[in-house]
């Protein structure tokens, strides 16, 4: 039997390379708003929720400013922008093999729910996932990824010992640990976790191969 009955995946930087689409859409948002970002729009900004990233780039927490930038970003990204998204090599095969071994797959992402679904449809992956969770799936939005993962486990009756989380950032590992889940650190994308900085108990996943996830 596989080690985990359920595997929950992060999306950006783990399953998909969304950097070109996201960075282009942030640039378009600032241009449309007639503003100049206070720091470079580079791929190290990808990962946190949209509002947090816009606050970082704009140097402002003014609600009106952030709302305006967010609307411009959504218009750019949810239109043609997200079509620049690509799957990391080997990810599609990994998902198919995990499903063939009877593992139930889920998504828990900081990305908004609407573009998440569009991207999964674009890549032909929607059928792989039993549940797709995002911070904005409810109103008011969920406060953080740890809460989101906890909600997914509770609503689907999944015990922590039955599941694992796969992600590419420190926040992903901390969110998994907060829910007593094993964490696999995907290091093939643009995430911020270096293999030599993994915390005790975290497992390095150097390539999108199912073997470590399937091990007994």
With b for 16 or more beta-carbon neighbours within 10 A and e for fewer, the 85-110 pattern comes to: bbbbeebbebbeebbeeebbbbbbbb
CA distance 81 to 20: 9
Looking up tokens 């985990």 gives 4
**Average pLDDT of the chain?**
94
What confidence tens digit (pLDDT) does each residue in 118-127 have? 999 999 999 9
* pLDDT above 80: residue 37: yes
What confidence tens digit (pLDDT) does each residue in 179-204 have? 999 999 999 988 768 888 899 999 99
Instruction: For domain 19-83, give the CATH number.
Output: 1.10.150
Q: At what angle do helices 19-33 and 50-58 cross, to 10 degrees?
A: 50
Residue 36 DSSP SS3: coil
Q: Would you place residue 216 in the very low, low, confident or very high pLDDT band (cuts 50, 70, 90)?
A: low
Same fold, 6-17+86-214 and 19-83: no
Contact 203, 183 (CB under 8 A): yes
- Tell me what percent of the chain is helix, strand and coil, each rounded to the nearest 5: 50, 15, 35
What confidence tens digit (pLDDT) does each residue in 58-71 have? 999 999 999 999 99
Omega of the bond leading into 140 within 30 degrees of 0 (cis): yes
Strand order in the sheet with 183-186: 129-134, 104-109, 6-9, 163-167, 183-186, 203-205
Domain ranges of the chain: 6-17+86-214, 19-83
- Here the tokens at position 169 are 């950032």
Mean of pLDDT values over 31-38 = 97
Pick one of 3.40.50.2300, 3.40.50.1000, 3.90.1170.10, 1.20.120.790 as the CATH number of 6-17+86-214. Answer: 3.40.50.1000
Instruction: Please name the helix (run of DSSP H) or strand (run of DSSP E) that holds residue 33, with its range, or none.
Output: helix 19-33
Alpha helices in 34-102, H assignment, sequence order: 50-58, 63-78, 91-100
Contact 37, 65 (CB under 8 A): no
CA distance 8 to 105: 6
């Amino acid at each position: 039997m596989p080690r985990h009955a359920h595997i929950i995946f992060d999306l950006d930087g783990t399953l998909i390379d969304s950097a070109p689409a996201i960075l282009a859409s942030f640039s378009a948002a600032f241009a449309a708003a007639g503003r100049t970002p206070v720091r470079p729009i580079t791929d190290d900004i990808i990962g946190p929720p949209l509002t947090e990233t816009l606050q970082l780039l704009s140097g402002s927490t003014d609600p009106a400013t952030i709302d305006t930038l967010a609307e411009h970003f959504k218009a750019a990204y949810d239109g043609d922008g997200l079509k620049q998204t690509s799957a990391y090599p080997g990810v599609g095969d990994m998902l198919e093999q995990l499903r063939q071994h009877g593992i139930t797959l889920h998504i828990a992402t900081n990305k908004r729910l609407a573009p998440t679904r569009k991207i999964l449809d674009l890549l032909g992956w929607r059928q792989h996932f039993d549940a797709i969770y995002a911070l904005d799936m409810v109103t008011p939005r969920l406060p953080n990824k740890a809460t989101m993962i906890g909600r997914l486990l509770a609503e689907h009756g999944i015990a922590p010992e039955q599941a694992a989380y796969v992600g590419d950032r420190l926040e992903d590992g901390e969110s998994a640990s907060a829910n007593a889940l094993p964490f696999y650190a995907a290091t093939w994308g643009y995430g911020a976790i270096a293999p030599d900085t993994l915390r005790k108990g975290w497992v390095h996943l150097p390539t999108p191969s199912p073997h470590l996830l399937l091990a007994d």
